[in-house]
Amino acid sequence: MEKILQVKDLELSFHTFAGEVKAIRGVSFDLNKGETLAIVGESGSGKSVTTKSIMRLLPESSSEFKNGEILFNNHDLTKLTDKEMQKIRGKDISMIFQDPMTSLNPTMTIGKQIMEPILKHQKVSKAKAKEVAVELLKLVGLPNPEMRIKMYPHQFSGGQRQRIVIAIALACNPKILIADEPTTALDVTIQAQILELMKDIQKKVDTSIIFITHDLGVVANVADRVAVMYGGRIVEVGTVDEIFYNPQHPYTWGLLSSMPSMDLEEERLYAIPGTPPDLLNPPVGDAFALRSEYALQIDLEQAPPMFQVSKTHFAATWLLHPNAPEVEPPANIIERMKTFRGSRYYEETTGGEA
């Protein structure tokens, strides 16, 4: 598949009064044309910082690229000036933020806000830009768009505002759409509608999506591939079936165990013990070792490399080393795998046998 974005060995720090926070520590991943890549992990794992670094939206006064590349259209985005990035933001790479009310200008009609990136990046008249704005509102499913482009953000519900933010992000037909937890503030019914809308739009405009979330239930519905982040690093990456039905990293096991399930009779919801690492003084070895019951002595001494599980599946855990002891996933993870007999991955790897 054609790679539209490549992030290679990215390291980024924040300079604070307390010291240097090493927020991103050697992150690498690719985004293929037309696919949806979900980046998941707890709060503070580095998901949003990683994607905001792609857009160059972090404050230059306190953040610093220490190493690595972000390659897009044969350009390293870490090396571009802010003026050069302005030509890319909104045109080639767009972002949908978590809270639409803080993304929209309360003093401007939504029509003007949708037209703004069109007029900035495309040589069209105001009349043509207005026409495109109306079409975009139709695309995201808002009725009576000719009337609604004259309205202000406060005149819409939360779900409608999120649709407007998506319309703005799509205004210039971007090659990459970054969605930073776009459904967090919405109720489950509206959330399902927005997710369905994004899948439908992706088919129509053929854009690649990076979807940031902590909700694995959302991931199962929207993603083609999944990258699991912890402590500023990607600890596992694979197709959505591989991550859900053949997880390899103990942190991924913990995330999956903490998902509620209608199929399993669990009295209590599992919670990963402990807290995320302090990135002012990041651990020497595996950042998850102190929270993991499966940690080996080497986990405390040396960070694991990415071990290959399949052509598309990699995990950074010493448990995959040939000399490591054999460890089975938690019992509830094995039970979940058994409930997913209908999955492509399960059928291919087991022949459908329990």
pLDDT tens readout for residues 195-235 = 888 888 888 888 999 999 888 878 888 899 999 999 999 99
**What does the pLDDT read at residue 343?**
45
Burial (0-12, 13-18, 19+ Cβ within 10 Å), 143: exposed
Q: What does the block give as tokens for 219?
A: 């991931």
pTM score above 0.85: yes
Q: State the CB neighbour count (10 A cutoff) for residue 144.
A: 10
Q: What does the block give as tokens for 258?
A: 């903490």
Kind and range of the H or E run holding 157: none
The CA distance from 95 to 89, in Å, is 8
pLDDT tens readout for residues 10-30 = 999 999 999 999 999 999 999
Which residues, 6 or more positions from 348, have their beta carbon under 8 angstroms from its beta carbon? none
Cα 272 to Cα 165, 240, 256, 269, distances in angstroms: 34, 21, 10, 10
**What does the pLDDT read at residue 345?**
44
Query: Which residue type occupies 297?
Result: Q
pLDDT tens readout for residues 100-146 = 778 899 999 999 999 999 999 988 899 999 999 999 999 888 999 99
pLDDT tens readout for residues 45-104 = 999 999 999 999 999 889 999 999 999 988 999 999 999 999 999 899 999 887 777 889
Q: Are 226 and 247 in contact (CB under 8 A)?
A: no
DSSP string, 66-110: EEEEEEETTEEGGGS-HHHHHTTBTTTEEEE-S-HHHHS-TTS-H
Q: Are 221 and 195 in contact (CB under 8 A)?
A: yes
pLDDT tens readout for residues 273-319 = 999 999 999 999 999 999 999 999 999 999 999 999 999 999 999 99
Q: Are 145 and 188 in contact (CB under 8 A)?
A: no
pLDDT tens readout for residues 256-275 = 888 776 665 655 777 889 99
**What does the pLDDT read at residue 342?**
45
The CA distance from 56 to 54, in Å, is 5
Of these ranges, 1-5, 180-184, 308-312, the one predicted with the greatest mean pLDDT is: 308-312
8-state DSSP, 119: H
The CA distance from 232 to 286, in Å, is 11
**What does the pLDDT read at residue 307?**
97
